[in-house]
Amino acid sequence: MADITTPLTRAPGRLDGLVSTDAQARIVCGLGILLLWELVVRAFAPAYVAKPTTVVMAIPKVIVDPAFLGATGNTLLACAQGLAISIVLGTVIGLAMGRSILVDRSLRHYINGFNAVPMIIVLPLVSLWFGYTSGARLATIVFAAIFSIIINTADGARSVPREYLEVARSFRSRRLRMLIDIVMPSSLPYFLAGLRLAAGRALIGAVVAEFFTAIGGVGYYILYNSRVFKHNEAFVGVLLLAAFGVGFEVLVGWSTLRFLPWYRRDEKAD
Amino acid sequence: MLSSLRKHAPVTLSLLAGAALWEIAGRNSDPAFLVPLSETLVRLYQLVGTHEFLVQFLDSATLFVTGVSLGILVGMPLGLLFARVRIIRVAVDPYIMTLYATPMVALIPFILSMMGFGFTPKVLVVFLFSVFPVLYNTVEGARSIKPELIEVARSYRSSERALWREVMVPYTLPYTMTGVRQAIARGLVGMVAAEFFLSATGLGQLIMNASQNFDTSGVFAMILLIGVIGVALMRFGLYIEQRFARWRI
């Protein structure tokens, strides 16, 4: 951020004019973290432990490895399916809860309760129900993702400005039309906030399910490679997960700004 | 009276309906798949009475409390320090955000193969799960301190210590408490994850044993129990958060 209030006393650096001081600080800090990591691992840890230089060297090999690509595809497909199920069911339940007091009062305790349960705890149950299959992973993903979508959509549907509905009602609009034309668009930003949380949780759900049931995917790739002491390869998997997490955040943030510029709201954390 | 009845009736009815549904569904399905609520409660009662349960419960509780406390004790001062010095805050901000968003479960296999099965790696897992929410929210809170407050304190020649005591800490504490609430929730996930994936101890071991013995009622009983603990801890976290929320300006 280059602002005109920057004091003149600051010593001019070589990168001045190219990169702002803030960005310089960030880059220096990032390099410092990497250097520290490298040095600590070199000094104290066994050779197999991941360090920045060896991880970077492992990247070109890993990203063309068919096992890795297959694992990535598996995990992402499962996450996409789980999110699709969660979006459809979650929106329907969320809208019903937001617009009907009766539904809200009957379901609220269950939804809040399930949301507070650490999702990892369902693993033994889903593995009993579905066996050690990808069905167990899908069920874990849905359980991880659906509740934040329901809660946020319900919040959104509840907070529709009353005047909009009153105007629509005075023009004798039907309930379904009101739902589609007023309630849904105005709860969209809340839904997106919920989706953002849900996507992160879906990814975690997929990874823990793969750890638990040993079905193929990025989580299992990480588990397997770290067990055979190929930490560098395994760490590329972690980088991929982090990239997907951050990437989805950025995508949702961007589309909120781009398509719903009228909306501003404090983010709701988990 | 009538209005309170109208307000509470649907809730009570829905809880009763849920319990009845579980009972009926449980009675009419394969016991390996679903067991009725009554059987689950009986099993839970049996489990809770045993000496082994007490040992495992205390084991889990020690792990959870140690990990989350360390997370708070490290996250809060570090967050304040980062926030006080602007250039450090700007520099570390993106990295804290990234670590806050990174799924920490993915690091468990590394911790396992480097540190083995003891108590320390498990505490490390719970710590990693809980430290970043505290750190992230503290930095967020300190970022939002109005510069005027610090300027006024400075103009009155406030010492650095007084500045921390009177401005920084009181202003940031409500935000930190939001982090503490998230840390409690995440720490519980970390605890179960550590018990599942590192070495089986505590409540995690009880549920794993039940699952491996196809003791479905045991699995349900443990899920119910950990669910109740989860809800109670969430309530506790909300209570702490709201207690400090009125300090927010």
For chain B of 249 residues, list the mean pLDDT of each consecutive stretch of 10. Answer: 68 84 84 83 88 91 95 92 83 84 86 86 94 90 81 86 84 89 92 90 88 87 90 90 74
Q: Which of A100, A108, A117, A213 to mutate to test the interface with B (most CBs of B within 10 A)?
A: A117
Residue A109 lies in a domain: yes
Whether residue A139 has pLDDT greater than 80: yes
Total number of domains constituting chain A: 1
From A166's Cα to the closest Cα of chain B, the distance in A is 25
Angle at B88 between CA A268 and CA A56, to 5 degrees: 85
pLDDT of residue B94: 85
Whether residue A141 has pLDDT greater than 90: yes
Output the six-digit token pair for B119.
């108590």
Whether residue A88 has pLDDT greater than 90: yes
What mean pLDDT is predicted for residues A255-265?
A: 73
Cβ contact A141:A207 at 8 Å? no
Task: State how far the Cα of B51 lies from the Cα of B58, in Å rounded to an integer.
Answer: 11
Residue A19 lies in a domain: no
From B156's Cα to the closest Cα of chain A, the distance in A is 23
Cβ contact A86:A138 at 8 Å? no
What mean pLDDT is predicted for residues A123-150?
A: 91
Residue A243 lies in a domain: yes
Number of inter-chain CB pairs under 8 A, A vs B: 146
Classify residue A235 by burial, with Cβ atoms within 10 Å: 0-12, 13-18, 19+: buried
Between chains, do A110 and B14 touch, taking CB under 8 Å as contact? yes
Helix (H) or strand (E) holding A67: helix A66-99
Torsion of CA B182, B188, B189, B195, to 10 degrees: 160
Task: State how far the Cα of B178 lies from the Cα of B133, in Å rounded to an integer.
Answer: 8
Domain span at A108: 66-158+186-259
Residue A80 lies in a domain: yes
Q: Report the range of poorest mean pLDDT among A199-208, A224-233, A254-263.
A: A254-263
What's the CATH number where A249 sits?
Answer: 1.10.3720.10
Tell whether B3 is within 8 A of chain A (Cβ).
no
Task: State how far the Cα of A145 lies from the Cα of A80, in Å rounded to an integer.
Answer: 11
Q: What is the pLDDT of residues A158-213, one digit of tens each?
A: 888 888 888 888 998 888 888 888 888 888 888 988 998 899 899 999 999 999 98
pLDDT of residue A8: 44
pLDDT of residue A19: 66
Whether residue A129 has pLDDT greater than 70: yes
Between chains, do B14 and A105 touch, taking CB under 8 Å as contact? yes
Angle at B124 between CA B239 and CA B84, to 5 degrees: 65
pLDDT of residue A270: 41
The backbone region for B17, taken as left when phi is positive above 0, alpha when psi lies in -120 to 50, beta otherwise, is alpha
**pTM score over 0.90:** no
Output the six-digit token pair for A262.
């009228």
CA A226 to chain centre: 24
Note the CATH architecture for domain B49-245: Orthogonal Bundle (1.10)
pLDDT of residue A17: 55
